[in-house]
Amino acid sequence: MSAPKWMVQLLLVIFIALLSSSLVASHTIHNESPHRKLASPADSGYISIDCGINEAYTDNESNIWYQPDSNFIETGQNHILPSQYTFDQHHISKQLNTLRSFPDGDRNCYTLITPKQGRSNKYLIRAFFAYRNYDLKNTTPAFDVYLGVNHWKTIEFEDVLSYFLIDVVYVAVTDTISVCLVNIGKGVPFISSLELWFLSDSTYSISSLLPQDVMTRSNLGMSQDTVFIRYKDDTYGRLWFNRFIGNSKTINTSSAIDANGIQNTYKLPSQVLKTAIQSLSLNSSLEIYFDKNTDKSYEYYVYLYFFEFEEQARTQKRIMDITFNDVTILTQLFTPQYMKVVTIVRNITKVDQLRILIKSTPESDLPAMINAFEVYRVLHQPNSPTYQEDVDAIWSIKRVYEIPRINWQGDPCIPTNFTWEGLTCSSDSNPRIISLNLSARRLTGEIDASFSGLTKLESLDLSNNKLTGKIPEFFSELPSLKFLNLSGNQLTGSIPKSLKQKLNTTLLLSLEGNPGLCLTGSCEKKKSLVPIIASIAASIVVLVTIVVIYVMVRRIKRKKQGVSKKDGQKKSKNQVFSYSQVTRITSNFKTVIGKGGFGEVYLGTLRDGREVAVKLLSQTSNQGYKEFHSEADLLTIVHHRNLVSLVGYCDEGDVKALIYEYMTKGNLQQLLSDKSPNVLKWSERLQIAVDAAHGLDYLHNGCKPPIVHRDLKTANILLNGNMQAKISDFGLSRAFANENDTHVSTVPAGTLGYLDPEFYSSGNLNKKSDVYSFGIILLELITGQPAIKAASPGSVTHILQWVNPKLGNGDIKSIVDPRLKAQYNTSSAWKLLEIAMSCIPPTAIQRPDMSRVVNELKDCLALEISIERTESSRRKSSNSLDMSSLNSFQIESVIRGPYAR
């Protein structure tokens, strides 16, 4: 019996009205006043800050957009250089003519948010300092600059008019990057300009993940009338310095060179490529000496850049040998190829000077040459940052309550002499906040949920503020909390039951001075009976409304699907099969289509003709009853187009079977194998990557609680007849209570080659472990190589050991599966490789979330599709032009033939 139409409509109106009022009330309660937020990165690929200005502008010399620093720091004073001291270097004069000084506080920090999507975690960070007597004291200061929690450089000036430039390649391990100016008692710190440039993963390879500080960046073919120059087409806004090399001459080309149109891993600007130096003769050498600030305790990286542009190199060979401190660095002699950029990267250690010798060999037709070079010093990193979740929580608390403390800048715990006031931190390798005192700090509003993020908190003092509202339940969920002081506020309501249970056992709680707080008994009073009844009545109306709507929706769905109650065929749950049904479906287990740790997989056919895959648990299986039920339970509640669907299961005595949809194309491991007769196209590989990423993102971020697969590999990615990829095999999966939970195990849950390297040291498995496994899968899609490959009897090679040396050479063609026969676009190949490498840093904190990976892969696929369409359009246009030319030729031939008059 259905409800009358008018009644349903009335109930719907009431329900919508109640829902709207509830949402308005919720908004009224939770709507916070706007707070200053950290500035996010520009879409242009960089953040450039001109310190001391008030309005943003685009620099005419460099085309770089500069913004004020007020969005990145809360302290300091702006200054303009006196007119007699203004800077006259046209490449950076505007940025150096203003600055910000920091007369107050020991540490003042610029905070830059790293991008969440679309970028790697590698950056080029650059800072300028020009004193130029801005304070009219004629006394240059000295101060320290910290990058994150570690010392970067001590700034000291030779004289009043000198300037200072520091430049570093940095891999971010946290969500923000701090550049801090530290007062060392030798004058007021200041800064003129600060820049951050996003680097691709293939640029400036850093095997140790430690920062590389620029010692020199020299364009060897520059004219001698300038000290340095910044080229407009330099993707990373670098400054290239002039360097004179004896026994050499400058060579250049007038030909136009498109730096973006050639394979140019390090994004060298066209002017660097168009000029070079050459030895004076075949018998002479190019000698480059570098001994500035070298120290045997540091490791150094040297980047040598070669671009052969001389026409005579088309027919003559230039063969060279290169030595560092008289030791050859090449396994074979080097011949640059015409109009191709070659970068030679080497690291050196335990040297107090560097002598680079480039010479032509007796077989060479042309003298030695080089375009440019860079030297970087690897910085020591003795300190590790505070645990990221604690950092996020304390910064959120700072923003919500607008805490103005000048020393609440940078990392909250490290270095220890700059720990934020009111905080106590643990001495862990990644420190944790264990005590927080915000007593008498004029805090207003409700107790924010950000405090729940400080999961190692032992003591919290929020006394003598103006906090309102109820005591949150989450305090009882902080496992280490021993002391909580909420006295002297304006809190109301009763003490949460869960908190009461911890009183006088594990928790000391102070609540006096809160007049509206019920310390004993019940806070319910008779006068509240009417609103309670009204609330109950409203709840009943809402409940009835929901039930009516549910019934109506179910009927509509059944009507659309053509299924009535009597049919009994369409079930909301997975079907339970008997052993005899399983036997009949599989024709007595006739056809084996696969085998895994669970057991053999058989092809089956249901009564309605659908083909299914029947996975039968073997009595000798490595996986057992627990994994069987884990997979059955999991696939009963999770449904996604990129997860293999469970049709039903059989659990009858010793017989246990899982019945899935049949994936006709098999698994990705088989399709990528060199034994496969068909080679996956590049576009197919990209689509498979996107499909699998969607499935994994659903498990991580679409399921509550999140689900970690724990055994992701190419063998567990199946494809249907439409080449749609779906993730399978959930026997080892775990659901976690929240997104930050970690499962600790002493037994590896995954497969060799795909297992998170962090597991071996910590035993931790979490969402980022799946991200690592997915990165390995992407490398397999790119290279066609397996995750683990036999190298020699008794030894194996991991795919990363195979990829990394080739990545250092910047040759994408040597990395991509040769079976593709170059039928792919190098831009999308580099993009996919960057995504893969971002997933596989050795520590989980450096890996992206799967939602970011999905967006990156979608961009990569869109890039490939766009390029394919452009090429297709170009080919059609070309064919059309060819036909027009042919027709014109034929017509002209007829007109001018032997019968023409």
CATH number assigned to the domain comprising residue 698: 1.10.510.10
Catalytic residue among 50, 167, 711, 729: 711
Does one domain contain both 655 and 682? no
- 223 & 315 share domain: yes
Q: Is residue 339 part of a domain?
A: yes
Residue 428 lies in a domain: yes
C-alpha 489/C-alpha 512 separation (Å) is 9
Per-10-residue mean pLDDT, the chain, length 901? 51 48 38 37 75 92 90 93 80 88 95 66 93 94 96 94 92 87 96 93 76 92 81 91 89 90 91 95 91 79 95 93 92 91 91 91 96 94 92 94 90 93 90 93 95 95 95 94 92 91 80 86 48 46 50 49 34 69 87 79 90 81 62 74 88 83 93 92 95 94 83 93 90 51 46 82 78 96 92 78 82 91 87 92 88 90 76 58 34 27 26
Percent of the chain clearing pLDDT 90 (strictly above): 48
Please check whether residues 714 and 799 belong to one and the same domain. yes
Give me the number of domains the chain comprises: 5
Q: What is the chain's length?
A: 901
Read off the CATH number of the domain in which 117 is found. Answer: 2.60.120.260
For 637-663, what is each residue's pLDDT tens digit? 778 899 998 888 888 877 888 888 999
Question: Could you tell me if 753 and 856 lie in one domain?
Answer: yes
Same domain for 401 and 493, yes or no, is yes
pLDDT score of 874? 62
Q: Is 615 among the annotated ligand-binding positions?
A: yes
Tens of pLDDT, residues 77-108: 999 999 888 876 667 778 999 999 999 999 99
- Which residue shows structure tokens 């439409």? 722
Give the residue carrying structure tokens 């309501």. Answer: 493
pLDDT of residue 208: 65
Residue 512, domain member (yes or no): yes
Q: Which domain holds residue 598?
A: 575-661
Residue 598 and residue 686 share a domain: no
Active site annotation includes 711 = yes
Assess if residue 807 is contained within a domain. Answer: yes
Same domain, 635 and 681: no
Domain end (from 330, 365, 382): 382
Of 111, 216, 153, which is closest to residue 380 (Cα–Cα)? 153
| 845 shares a domain with 766 | yes
pLDDT at 812 (0 to 100): 87
Domain containing residue 586: CATH number: 3.30.200.20
Instruction: Decide if 473 contacts 498 (C-beta within 8 A).
Output: yes
Structure tokens at 498: 């869960």
Residue by residue, DSSP assigns 720-752 as: -TT--EEE---TT-EE-SSTT--EE-SS--S-T
Say what the pLDDT of residue 434 is: 94
Q: If you write DSSP's letter for every residue of 821-879 in order, what string do you get? A: TT-S-HHHHHHHHHHHHHT--SSGGGSPPHHHHHHHHHHHHHHHHHHHHHHHHHHHHHH
Q: Is residue 401 part of a domain?
A: yes
Q: Which of 366, 382, 398 is the last residue of a domain?
A: 382
3-state secondary structure of 178: strand
Same domain, 141 and 98: yes
Is residue 207 domain-resident? no
Residue 562 placed within a domain = no
**What local confidence, expressed as pLDDT, does residue 244 receive?**
85
Per-residue confidence (pLDDT) for residue 733, from 0 to 100: 57
Residues 392 and 367 in one domain: no
Same structural domain, 833 and 717: yes
Residue 762: its pLDDT value, please?
64
- 1 assigned to some structural domain: no
End-of-domain residue from the set 628, 661, 694: 661
| Whether 139 and 255 share a structural domain | no
Instruction: Find, among 859, 794, 855, the residue nearest to 828 by Cα.
Output: 859
Structure tokens at 531: 């609103």
